Structure 1
């Protein structure tokens, strides 16, 4: 897929309303909906815009806030399904998600539901999510999804709060029959930008430790495992795989890059999940596009800069041609270590984290400890390397 022309996933922040009070909430959610949110008809138009990218259509992810705060959410899922768009949703584990609601979502055509699990016990999870009973309700929701045939995935935020508990969460996930476990690495935005929450962020060395643990786990886990805003995991994967094969990592990297240049079949088959994992190279604004609750088009929900509004321009036009999106996909403009890194085409670093920490989304990912081979050369050598 040419990520300059089409995204792999389109994420829509349906609302910022939510009844949970999670410590790290990106949206800094509040209980009540914003009257300027996209209307039902505007949501239908957004689906039409997704179809304008052509088949296979990007995966459409409904997030929030809590999508269940919108009474029209079932109609939106049904409309997208009728258009042939695969729809996933990330609701909050609140009383709004009932067995009947899950049944209605299944009937509307929802393909996958993702729910957060931030600890292996009610005490750990509920203290992070801010509401007692959230842990128990999360497990009920997963049971209902299994009953009505909706694929499921688990989201876990990796912080000091959950770091040492991850192996126990992994054991739980293995017993739940889920398709994918996504580990979210904290970005200092929304509530997570508060000093007391920033301190929950793990160290760059802990990133490497978790990545290596994830790689080992992936060999035996009965589910897929992937990071979010931890793109340098791809470098660790290649390094570990090259070591196991006894080949230079450069050789393996070349092979991966050559394969990524060929068209990728992302249409689900009977032998694969209906929602398939994103290929290497997907990054903020590069294969991913985020639409805010009021229609602003951003490279990521964690990068609060907009290339335009779907109320004013078609989504494809903004994604393909807005200066923000064109620049963020141009890895020749990456700065610092990321700019000369031999792994940048499959990684690229978190543009959201670079912006949150430095104010410049083209700076190096400040939580990557890798030292590229070209780093430390003369300025002339570095400039030459960055251009090749």
Structure 2
């Protein structure tokens, strides 16, 4: 341990790390850490292709503690760590790792699966240990739709119950929703369901064809653009924040609307929505797999090294691929030419999934650079 133990209240919250001209060169804002691939669910889109039991090669407790020491090397303010999986609740030393992170001043959030392991007592314990937030997934507005994605009957009802329990114990929740060609039409119904609950953020994850997700179909660029325009409208009235994951051109859609209203670039950059500008795979985000492999994100499976052999600080700051992902001037195709690339930059994961090149254009965005309009 390189820094003396810190009181839980001093642990970093998401957003503590700031960019310089929309590049996160010194430190990511968030480290997503896949503690295990073990999970009780069998979700159709699972990036990790999770299985019931832990796979050989997972980082040991000693190695995991060493990773937390490495993360301290980013310096202040420290990145926030999201412990994910699989299901991080299936990791026997989870509580020890949460305590160790908090002692080091590293803020922790959790992305657990909705299984019997997650209940009121567990949520209360997580909150008391310093976990700052959790995420829950809701992929359909009815049991048939949601459970059809999660592949375990009863998951929808359990998720809705856990939303209420989390609110009762004071645990902030982000709800993640999968957007595919099959589910995109259900988004308004999911919104109506969520607006009656207490949550911090609704994040819509636009499918990346990796892991089991290769068996599902992405929505079309036109469908996506229409959905994003609708999201901008409901965001004004929603009792929670509305965000997108792996669909960074939501920022371009929002910026175009503000430009149409007469706002300058400087005025747009001063808006609350601009806090997310620039964040994408490898820029403000980095991922550690259960084996210790470091990739730009969980959806961009391009390993740049392993924490057992080299510090995550060095890998994030100095690896040529990581540095290239933080420089949109080097992107190719439409994303490279786009006047919004500093704010947006496109999904590098989707570019890689479609072309094998993480610097190529994001095919989900229909915008033609310089046109200032999108015909639907």
Q: What is the CA distance between 1:277 and its match in structure 2?
A: 9.6
Distance in 2 between the 1:15 and 1:98 partners? 20
Gaps of 5+ in 2: 1-17
Q: Which residue of 1 aligns with 2:262?
A: 246
Structure 1 Cα separation of the partners of residues 182 and 86 of structure 2: 22
Q: Report the counterpart of residue 288 of structure 1 in structure 2.
A: 285
Shift in Å, 1:64: 0.9
TM-score norm. by structure 2 comes to 0.89
Deviations 1:77-116 (A, max 9, x none): 1221222222111111111212222222122111101000
CA–CA distance in 1 between the matches of 2:289 and 2:101? 18
Instruction: Indicate which of 94, 107, 110 corresponds to 2:115.
Output: 94
Q: In 2, Cα distance between the equivalents of 1:33 and 1:278?
A: 37
Aligned residues: 351
Indicate the residue corresponding to 1:350 in structure 2: 347
**Map 1:31-46 → 2, pairs under 5 A:** 31-46=52-67
Alpha-carbon contact 2:49-2:212 (below 8 Å) kept:
yes
Partners of 1:46 and 1:255 lie apart in 2 by 40
The residue that corresponds to 1:84 in the other structure is 105
- Matched with 2:232 is 215
Distance 1:277 1:283, change over 3 A: same
State the superposition RMSD in angstroms: 1.9
Displacement of 1:255 after TM fit?
4.5
Partners of 2:166 and 2:70 lie apart in 1 by: 29
Pairing 1:1-388 to 2, within 5 Å after superposition: 1-2=18-19, 3-194=24-215, 197=216, 200-243=217-260, 245-247=261-263, 251-252=264-265, 254-256=266-268, 279-373=276-370
Looking at structure 1, the residues matched to 154 and 177 of structure 2 have their Cα atoms a distance apart, in angstroms, of 17
Alpha-carbon separation, structure 1, partners of 2:49 and 2:96: 26
Deviation, structure 1 residue 227: 0.2
SS in 2 for 1:175: coil
Q: 1:137-159: CA deviations, max 9, x gaps?
A: 11222223223221111000011
* Gap regions ≥5 residues in structure 1: 265-275, 376-388
For the 8 Å contact 1:14–1:67, the answer to whether it is kept is: yes
Instruction: Provide Cα deviations, 1:242-297, integer angstroms capped at 9, x if missing partner.
Output: 22x334xxx33x5546x69xxx9xxxxxxxxxxx9953111110000000111111
Give yes or no for contact 1:74–1:104 (8 Å, CA) kept in 2: no
Contact kept? 2:268, 2:274, Cα under 8 Å:
no
| Alpha carbons 1:119, 1:165 under 8 Å: kept | yes
Counterpart of 1:47 in 2: which secondary structure? helix
* Residue 380 (structure 1) aligns with: none
Structure 1 stretch displaced more, 38-47 or 316-325: 38-47
Question: How far apart, in 2, do the equivalents of 1:325 and 1:297 lie?
Answer: 10
